[in-house]
Amino acid sequence: MKGIDRLVRRNIAELTPYSTARDEYEGALGVFLDANESPYPNGWNRYPDPHQKKLKQRISELKGIPVGNIFLGNGSDEAIDLLLRVFCNPGKDNVVAISPSYGMYEVAAQINDIEVRKVPLGEDFALDREALLAATDAQTKLMFICSPNNPTGNAFSNSELLSLAEAFDGILVVDEAYIDFSKVGSLAPRVAEMDNVVVLQTMSKAAGMAGLRLGMAFSNTRIIELMSMIKYPYNLSQATQELALQNLEESYKWKIDETITERTRVAEALRCTAGVLKVWDSEANFLLVKVKDADLVYERLIGGGVIVRNRNKVPGCLGCLRISIGTPKENDILLKLMQEL
């Protein structure tokens, strides 16, 4: 353990967080005249639990991670923004990220006036450990590694990631948005014992709740405490907390299994399709597909009513489309169109 407090921005380390009415009186029964709420019940007239205790307890059981190692936010995007704001001094510090990868790290950093140093992935989108470490300096506070990576679809091994965390003097943020679709196990069970690793997950993909906005960060208790200290007090609405709990009562494992089966079927079919140059193996719920004329295929698919993500302009993905795996019926429509092109 290297101790992370030296990495925290001084204004955050010295902050007295906002204390809500619900923090100052935690009982559930009584006449509540403390929060200037409307007293007329309509299901939503009271402020939600700022600590999301019930939902955290449920997620703790599902993931096998203690409650004290869990942060919940308005999508993973909130966690990304909060990490930048805990650790990075605007106009001074920088972050390192792999390229190509998820665009939000860069946008969130730019909004916070933090330099982003992008390090290209190597052959077959492998992690270039030496180049990543070489891109860091004393001002590098965070390193973002997405695994399985969006849009390349490959996952990095836990030993690679842990060795990177050990060699890096800042915080390693591993974005596991697609981990449920991967044969590589999550790093989340290891975060409590590491001083500088944060694992991000989301309910937006495998769990099927993109519309609810619920992201998770798993880390040691100090980092979770810092993130919780600076979040909006009521960052998760009552609706999100209740509906997520309700949705989590039903297992979504069959959906993951079907998606993985379909991923193999679609990849194999595409590999036999004229005009398709390459389909990368994927550990996620999408395929990166290189075609002869990406812009043309993209437009033709739209003409047939199928919308995919055109990644043709993204460095490292020239000529590529990113295609999400749909239901078997939806995938049949895609394959039929691709074969007709």
Ligand X SMILES: *Cc1c(COP(=O)(O)O)cnc(C)c1O
Contact residues toward ligand X (CB under 6 A) are: 75-77, 102, 146, 150, 175, 177, 202, 204-205, 210, 215
Q: Of the two residues 8 and 215, which places its CB atom closer to ligand X in the complex?
A: 215
CB 148 to ligand X: min, Å = 9
CB 287 to ligand X: min, Å = 14
CB 186 to ligand X: min, Å = 14
Q: Of the two residues 175 and 283, which places its CB atom closer to ligand X in the complex?
A: 175
Residue nearest to ligand X (CB): 75
Residue 341 has a CB neighbour count (10 Å cut-off) of 16
Q: Of the two residues 77 and 180, which places its CB atom closer to ligand X in the complex?
A: 77
Q: Of the two residues 22 and 149, which places its CB atom closer to ligand X in the complex?
A: 149
CB 103 to ligand X: min, Å = 9
Q: Of the two residues 74 and 338, which places its CB atom closer to ligand X in the complex?
A: 74
Residue of 227, 192, 290 lying closest to 85 (CA atoms)? 227
CB 79 to ligand X: min, Å = 8
User: What are the C-alpha distances in Å from 110 to residues 10, 31, 88, 94?
Assistant: 21, 46, 12, 10
CB 143 to ligand X: min, Å = 15
Q: Of the two residues 22 and 81, which places its CB atom closer to ligand X in the complex?
A: 81
CB 51 to ligand X: min, Å = 20
Q: Kindly state the tokens that stand for 236.
A: 């998760």
Q: Of the two residues 147 and 220, which places its CB atom closer to ligand X in the complex?
A: 147
